[in-house]
Amino acid sequence: YGEIARAVGKPDQARAVGQAVGANPILIVVPCHRVIASDGRLTGFSGGLRRKVALLRMEGVEVEGASPNSRVHPEVIPLDL
């Protein structure tokens, strides 16, 4: 959330980003499944972690491990801001 907050010019608003992502009603149009922890862990997703893993893999992201211990390399997540 911090990286997104910085990207939109609001570096102190990571918590607000988290709230907005959590309230996203259109999961595929606004790709909040791409939000990951800063260390690469896959964290909460309203559609469930298994679905998050599936969506990331469909986008060509290599996901290591199995849910709930899955992780990715943060630099490979597509970020279309």
The span from the first CA to the last CA of the chain, in angstroms, equals 13
Told to judge if 33 belongs to the known catalytic residues of this protein, a careful annotator would answer no
| Candidate list 4, 17, 32, 53, residue with the active-site label | 32
Task: Give the CA count within 13 Å in the CB-facing half-sphere of 70.
Answer: 21
- The residues facing 71 across adjacent strands are 41, 64
Residues belonging to the active site: 32
